[in-house]
């Protein structure tokens, strides 16, 4: 159990400094259905070395946070607020938040449920309305530093949930389920993953939409009745899909073939995952502890080793290396400038001193 987290735990993430975060920091021992209504607007932080958890950010009282993503420098955190139908951006220096983007059309479709962030600042959004089994794909294009413009990319869909970008940001993956829940494991249209080609401006080409994986026909044993939840990619382009209700993570190759399954011991209803650790290859998966029913119980964390580092982890490290190199180059340049200035001053001093001596000698 992750101390303080509730049963609706979601949005597992690791910031550029290596700290762990998740949504629904309940911070009470009341694991009842009513008790788990508390803290849906709170982000919790965990010290992975000690297991100590604490409040990191508290949103508006009617906020319900789900997915979250960090910028590479850690200066901002994007939160999917499904309760208010908008994306919230947190300035991590001041801990002030602002409404980054939203639309009146998003909320009825349960958008945003989860999100993905490109390296050039485009935020992609999934969403699902459980009652009508409908959803959509949206994105928020940067419009200055403090806000974005929301636009629909693909509508008239079933429930969309997991969303992730390839390491080169050229492919977007999105899950879709056509019932709530899908009851037949062999339903050919019940549970799928789509992939889209991403254009240079961040939009997606709807004509490029391709079926990437079908959970009824592609696995050896059909499992369309298990919900696909949060997703991430690794540096090799493999896609990691949490199977909510299946107690595992499925790893799919860039070609859509099953590479392996990662079994989880603490979490059956796994909702999301993140990559972290010293080399970025450790998987941190969250969900309800054990087999607790929806809305009851506590939030749990399952940690598993993996073969490759995650996309975000590698992106963060590359950004830090670039910043360090720039800083070092600037410092070296400044050092050379100072040295040159010192040499010039010294030369001038020596020249002046020599002139004075000559004047004294020949008086």
Summarised one tens digit per residue, pLDDT across range 68-111 is 999 999 999 999 999 999 999 999 999 999 999 999 999 889 99
Alpha helices in the chain (DSSP H): 311-361
| DSSP class of 107 | G
Residue-wise pLDDT for 319-363, tens only, equals 988 766 555 455 445 454 444 444 444 444 334 433 433 333 333
Ramachandran assignment for 19, one of left (phi > 0), alpha (psi -120 to 50 degrees), beta (any other): beta
pLDDT for the residue 337: 47
pLDDT at 76: 97
* pLDDT tens-place string over residues 181-229: 999 999 999 999 999 999 999 999 889 999 999 999 999 999 999 999 9
Closest CA to 139 of 147, 130, 150: 150
User: What is the CATH code of the structural domain delimited by 13-313?
Assistant: 2.120.10.30
Q: Could you report the per-residue pLDDT of 126-139, keeping only the tens digit for each?
A: 999 999 999 999 99
- Extract the tokens encoding 148: 């974005």
What pLDDT was estimated at residue 321?
82
User: What are the distances in angstroms from CA 121 to CA 6, 76, 97, 169?
Assistant: 30, 11, 17, 11
pLDDT grade for 18, boundaries at 50, 70 and 90:
very high
Predicted pLDDT of residue 133: 96
CB neighbourhood size of 166 (10 A): 17
Q: What is the mean pLDDT of residues 281-293?
A: 96
Phi, psi of 90, deg, nearest 5: -105, 125
pLDDT higher for 306 or 331? 306
What integer best gives the mean pLDDT of the chain? Answer: 90
């Amino acid at each position: 159990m992750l101390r303080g987290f509730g049963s609706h735990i979601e949005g597992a993430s690791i910031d550029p400094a290596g700290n762990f975060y998740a949504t629904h920091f309940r911070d009470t021992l009341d694991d009842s259905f009513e008790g788990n209504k508390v803290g849906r607007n709170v982000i919790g932080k965990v010290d992975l070395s000690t297991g100590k958890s604490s409040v990191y950010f508290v949103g508006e009282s009617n906020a319900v946070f789900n997915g979250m993503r960090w910028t590479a420098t850690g200066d901002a955190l994007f939160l999917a607020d499904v309760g208010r139908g908008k994306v919230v951006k947190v300035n991590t220096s001041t801990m002030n938040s602002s409404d980054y983007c939203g639309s009146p059309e998003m909320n009825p479709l349960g958008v945003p449920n989860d999100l993905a962030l490109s390296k050039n600042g485009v935020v992609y959004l999934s969403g699902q309305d459980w009652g009508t089994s409908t959803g959509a794909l949206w994105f928020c294009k940067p419009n200055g530093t403090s806000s974005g413009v929301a636009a629909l990319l693909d509508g008239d869909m079933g429930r969309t949930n997991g969303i992730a970008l390839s390491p080169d940001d050229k492919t977007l993956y999105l899950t879709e389920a056509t019932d709530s829940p899908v009851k037949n494991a062999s339903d050919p249209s019940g549970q799928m993953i789509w992939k889209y080609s991403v254009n240079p401006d961040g939009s997606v080409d709807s004509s490029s939409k391709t079926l990437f994986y079908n959970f009824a026909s592609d696995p050896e044993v059909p499992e369309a009745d298990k919900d696909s939840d949060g997703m991430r990619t690794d540096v090799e382009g493999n896609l990691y899909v949490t199977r909510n209700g299946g107690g595992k993570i499925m790893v799919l190759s860039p070609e859509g073939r099953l590479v392996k399954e990662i079994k989880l011991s603490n979490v059956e209803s796994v909702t999301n995952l993140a990559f972290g650790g010293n080399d970025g290859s450790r998987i941190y998966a969250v969900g309800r502890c054990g087999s607790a029913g929806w809305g009851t119980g506590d939030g749990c964390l399952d940690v598993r080793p993996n073969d490759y580092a995650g996309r975000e982890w590698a992106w963060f490290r590359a950004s830090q290396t670039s910043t360090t190199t720039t800083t070092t180059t600037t410092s070296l340049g400044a050092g050379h400038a100072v040295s040159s200035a010192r040499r010039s001053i010294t030369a001038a001093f020596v020249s002046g001193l020599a002139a004075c001596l000559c004047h004294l000698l020949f008086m």
